[in-house]
A and B are shown apart, each in its own frame.
Chain A
Amino acid sequence: DTGVSQDPRHKITKRGQNVTFRCDPISEHNRLYWYRQTLGQGPEFLTYFQNEAQLEKSRLLSDRFSAERPKGSFSTLEIQRTEQGDSAMYLCASSLVLVRQPNTEAFFGQGTRLTVV
């Protein structure tokens, strides 16, 4: 396992289409995070999972966005009816957080760059 893997790396879609991104975290990492980053900005937190449970969603995550982590391993982020404003880099990260060791680093994937035309 070489790290967090995201697929695809690039996606160009027409406005109004649905897109789905996949993230494979580091094996045995129980937490998985999604972020969105636009040019010149820092990553903005979207949502995170503890195993298969989605524990928090940012206000940035509109009704058109949905994320799942059905088996507590890989996760998908779907954007329905894409808009030009959805164009961004979507980053996934994972970490192993234990009760006795809550302070652990997060490892990021290379991201999926979405362009909505």
Chain B
Amino acid sequence: SQQGEEDPQALSIQEGENATMNCSYKTSINNLQWYRQNSGRGLVHLILIRSNEREKHSGRLRVTLDTSKKSSSLLITASRAADTASYFCGADKIIFGKGTRLHILP
């Protein structure tokens, strides 16, 4: 969607390292959500952050939101092979961009 995008397009890191990916958007939002998609499968909801929140944690995930910059970041700590997937951000009913393809190297 041209209403936003994820960055970088692709990211390869060693297992155990942290992975950070960013989301920028153009519209006003009520909330922002991050999703994971394994190849050929549907999207899995990871975390939702409301527009009045600045940071949220869930397990190894940390999400930040800066509504003044219209940007969000997703941090995955202590990455695992199973984290290999594409990651998308979205708001309301719109999924932004082409996603970040994360590859965890053994």
Residues in A lying within 8 Å of B, measured CB to CB: 4, 6, 33, 35, 40-45, 48, 56, 89, 91, 93, 102-111, 113
Contact = CB atoms under 8 A, between A and B. Distances in A.
A48 B31 contact: no
Contacts of B96: 42
A45 B95 contact: yes
Contacts of A102: 30
Contacts, number: 52
Interface residues of B, number: 21
Given A44-B1, A48-B93, 6 more contacts: A41-B98, A42-B97, A44-B95, A56-B93, A105-B33, A108-B45
Contacts of A45: 1, 93-95
B88 interface: yes
Contact of A105 (B30, B41, B45): B45
Nearest to A56: B93
Interface in B62-100: 88, 93-99
Among B40, B45, B93, chain A packs the most CB atoms within 10 A around the CB of B93
